Amino acid sequence: MSGPPNVGAAAVRAGDRRALARLLTLVENATPAAEAALAELYPYTGGAQLIGITGPPGSGKSSLVNELAKLLRRGTPARPPVTVAIVAVDPSSPFTGGAILGDRIRMRDLAGDPGVFIRSMASRGSLGGLARATADVVRVLDAAGYGAILIETVGAGQTEVDIARAAHTTVVVEAPGLGDDVQAIKAGLLEAADVLVVNKADQPGADSALKALRASLDLAHPIARRWAAAGGGHHRVTTVATEPEAAPDVWLVPLLPTIAIQGQGTEALLAAIDRHRAYLQTSGELARRERDRLAHELEARLRDYLLAALVDRLGQGALAAALDRVAARECDPGTAARALAAHLLPPA
Amino acid sequence: MPESERQIRVLVAKPGLDGHDRGAKIIARALRDAGMEVVYTGLRQTPEMIAEAALQEDVAVVGLSILSGAHMALVPRVLDLLRANGLGDVKLFVGGIIPDDDVPALKALGVAGVFGPGASTEVIVKAVRESVRPA
């Protein structure tokens, strides 16, 4: 028989995997015990390299995460091996709340390695591509000492860009045959990319996908056009994108072909992720992004707490009465909200 | 948090060398439709992989689907590893091709329930839910 699981922050810091798994559940469920542990662990965060992987369903995100994790564990001539945590988010059903979390299917290579910890999360109604608790789950894994954390979003299309706030480097994975060149210039996911990947680069349509994305990147970065014109072809997966000689304070999004299931192109991808990380550090962008992210989170949490506290003071009755009037078309939602707030706030 | 608001997390796993996982997917889908979060890991998992996934995912329930006849070897191994990982409180269910004669032995080992090909998904969902939240 096992005793009551230890959910202490100290056990997590000491490398107790059972305690870590248990705490992640509490964090997902937003329990008071989790809040206390998060407060205790927060000073120990900030050490991990946070890598986000996003892209449409079926583009090969999980396979790419699997390959990147193997590479991170093995190390390359340019970087020492690190321990790896993976947070893989899959969608919850909006109808039943249930979810199939299937990302581990593509990560079986990682089984048996105590330096890898994989956690599947259901999105639980969140629409930004991550779950509401993902940032806190990542913090716990960070404080537990994992050197790199790979965050895989739900299959994302155009607006699920929360990942850009949660990760240091966001990799957007596309695959051949998913859209024309107008898709490539629409706003949203592609703009969130720090590194752009066309996976399944051995499949028909890979060249035209690369071309469309290249063209879209050139529009975004006129400075890159010279490079594209000079650099020449990007036809085969064996072609490694050449690096532009850019000023250190300008990041040109690299476009890389990969074949994740064969492990092709993943070393170049990790090198690009590391170059981006170095750019963030030397340009001061890392601190700026971090501050921006924390400001956003602080605001969101403040909003939640204030709303809960104010609704508490108003009483559910007043809220229900206001809702009745709005539903009866006697009062519009904006006016009703202002009237409710006026009860609570001192006159200006 | 009230029990009713807490998600039940289940690991559905296929140990051994079975060639297909149609049954396991039907069960995973039924549990999903019942509002549970189902971690599915695919074919050909070793008992070690299953126990490790159960630990990392902090599931309350593990469901094994075994068609190969190797259940009397695989199930005790999974149970031992779960206990070694401090997961003795995790409920283990077994489904697939399990002769009636073996069911008492499996239950004596600590298996919470055994379901053959004829079991309805409603019965399975109910058993899984009640194993975590006794009525």
**Average pLDDT, rounded, for chain A:** 85
Nearest CA in chain B to A104: B41
pLDDT confidence of residue A179: 64
Over residues A283-341, the pLDDT tens digits come to 999 999 889 888 988 998 898 888 888 888 888 888 899 999 999 999 999 999 999 88
State the residue for tokens 């349509």.
A205
Report yes or no: A24 at the B interface, CB cutoff 8 Å. Answer: yes
Can you tell me the distance from the alpha carbon of A263 to that of A268, in angstroms, rounded to the nearest whole number? Answer: 11
Q: Report chain B residues touching chain A, CB-CB < 8 A.
A: 1, 6-7, 9, 28-29, 31-42, 45-46, 48-49, 52-53, 55-58, 83, 85-89
Q: Which two tokens stand for residue B19?
A: 């060639």
Q: Is the Cα torsion angle B47, B48, B51, B52 positive or negative in sign?
A: negative
Could you tell me the residue ranges of all domains in chain A? 45-283, 296-344
Query: Which of A34-38, A316-320, B49-53 shows the lowest mean pLDDT across its residues?
Result: A316-320
Nearest CA in chain B to A99: B37
Mean pLDDT value of segment A247-257: 81
pLDDT confidence of residue A238: 31
Per the CB < 8 Å rule, is B34 touching A18?
no
Mean pLDDT value of segment A194-222: 84
Confidence of residue B19 (pLDDT cuts 50, 70, 90): confident
In terms of DSSP H, where are the helices of chain A? 9-13, 17-28, 32-41, 61-74, 134-143, 163-166, 206-220, 222-231, 266-283, 285-314, 316-327, 333-344
Query: Which of A20-24, A292-296, B2-6, B35-39 shows the lowest mean pLDDT across its residues?
Result: B2-6
Per the CB < 8 Å rule, is B87 touching A18?
yes
Beta bridge partners of residue B63, listed in sequence order:
B12, B93
Report yes or no: A94 at the B interface, CB cutoff 8 Å. Answer: no
pLDDT confidence of residue A70: 97
Mean pLDDT value of segment A200-210: 90
Residue A274 pLDDT > 80, yes or no?
A: yes
The proportion of chain A whose per-residue pLDDT surpasses 70, expressed as a percent, equals 85
Cβ contacts below 8 Å, chain A against chain B, sum to 94
pLDDT confidence of residue A244: 47
Residue B82 pLDDT > 70, yes or no?
A: yes
The partner residue sitting opposite A18, judged by closest CB among B36, B83, B85, is B85
Q: Which two tokens stand for residue A152?
A: 């895989």
Residue A276 pLDDT > 50, yes or no?
A: yes
- CB-based burial, B63-91: b 16+ in 10 Å, e otherwise: bbbbbeeebeebbbbbbebbbebbbeebb
Nearest CA in chain B to A92: B37
The SS3 call for residue A16 is: coil
pLDDT confidence of residue A229: 40
Nearest CA in chain B to A85: B56
Closest approach of B54 to chain A, Cα-based (Å): 9
Report yes or no: A105 at the B interface, CB cutoff 8 Å. Answer: yes
Per the CB < 8 Å rule, is B32 touching A99?
yes
Residue B5 pLDDT > 80, yes or no?
A: no
Mean pLDDT value of segment A27-47: 93
Report yes or no: A334 at the B interface, CB cutoff 8 Å. Answer: no
Mean pLDDT value of segment A65-87: 96
Over residues A90-107, the pLDDT tens digits come to 999 988 999 999 999 999
Mean pLDDT value of segment A134-143: 96
Per the CB < 8 Å rule, is B49 touching A21?
no
Report yes or no: A33 at the B interface, CB cutoff 8 Å. Answer: no
Confidence of residue A79 (pLDDT cuts 50, 70, 90): very high
- CB-based burial, A69-95: b 16+ in 10 Å, e otherwise: bbbbbeeeeebeeebbbbbbbbbbeee
CATH 3.30.590.10, domain A45-283, yes or no = no
Could you tell me the residue ranges of all domains in chain B? 7-130
Per the CB < 8 Å rule, is B57 touching A18?
no
Nearest to A103, CA basis, from A85, A89, A82, A123: A89
Q: Is the Cα torsion angle A183, A135, A302, B3 positive or negative in sign?
A: positive
The residue ranges of DSSP E strands in chain B, in sequence order, are 9-13, 37-40, 61-66, 91-96, 113-115
Closest approach of A187 to chain B, Cα-based (Å): 32
pLDDT confidence of residue A305: 87
Per the CB < 8 Å rule, is A25 touching B9?
yes
Q: What is the spatial order of strands in the sheet that A169-174 belongs to?
A: A116-122, A84-90, A148-152, A49-54, A169-174, A195-198, A255-257
Mean pLDDT value of segment A210-233: 60
Per the CB < 8 Å rule, is A21 touching B56?
yes
Can you tell me the distance from the alpha carbon of A124 to that of A105, in angstroms, rounded to the nearest whole number? Answer: 21
Residue A5 pLDDT > 90, yes or no?
A: no
Task: Enter the pTM of the model.
Answer: 0.86
Q: What is the ipTM of this complex?
A: 0.92
Q: Under a CB-based contact definition with an 8 Å cutoff, are residues B74 and B66 in contact?
A: yes
Q: How many CB atoms are located within 10 Å of the residue A298 CB? A: 10
The SS3 call for residue B63 is: strand
Terminal CA-CA length for chain B: 18
For residue A219, how many C-alpha atoms fall within 13 Å in the half-sphere facing its CB? 14
Per the CB < 8 Å rule, is A104 touching B40?
yes
Can you tell me the distance from the alpha carbon of A36 to that of B80, in angstroms, rounded to the nearest whole number? Answer: 33
Q: Is the Cα torsion angle A265, A267, A271, A274 positive or negative in sign?
A: positive
Q: Which A residues 260-289 touch B at CB under 8 Å?
A: none
Nearest CA in chain B to A29: B6
Q: Which amino acid is at B129?
A: R
Can you tell me the distance from the alpha carbon of A283 to that of A303, in angstroms, rounded to the nearest whole number? Answer: 32
The partner residue sitting opposite B33, judged by closest CB among A21, A98, A105, is A98
Query: A112 contacts in B (CB within 8 Å)?
Result: 48-49, 52
Q: Which two tokens stand for residue A212?
A: 């469309």
Q: Which amino acid is at B16?
A: G
Using alpha carbons only, give the angle A146, A148, A151 rounded to the nearest 5 degrees.
110
pLDDT confidence of residue A297: 86
Span B7-130 CATH architecture: 3-Layer(aba) Sandwich (3.40)
The partner residue sitting opposite B40, judged by closest CB among A5, A25, A105, is A105
Q: Under a CB-based contact definition with an 8 Å cutoff, are residues B25 and B40 in contact?
A: yes
Query: B36 contacts in A (CB within 8 Å)?
Result: 98
Cβ-in-10-Å burial (0-12, 13-18, 19+) of B26 comes to: middle
pLDDT confidence of residue A241: 43
Can you tell me the distance from the alpha carbon of A67 to that of A259, in angstroms, rounded to the nearest whole number? Answer: 10
The partner residue sitting opposite B35, judged by closest CB among A25, A96, A104, is A96
CA torsion, ordered A136, A100, A257, A116, to nearest 10 deg: 50
How far from B87 is each of A18, A100, A155, A216, B62, CA to CA, in Å? 9, 22, 32, 51, 11
A282 CB contacts (<8 Å, ≥6 apart)? Answer: A248
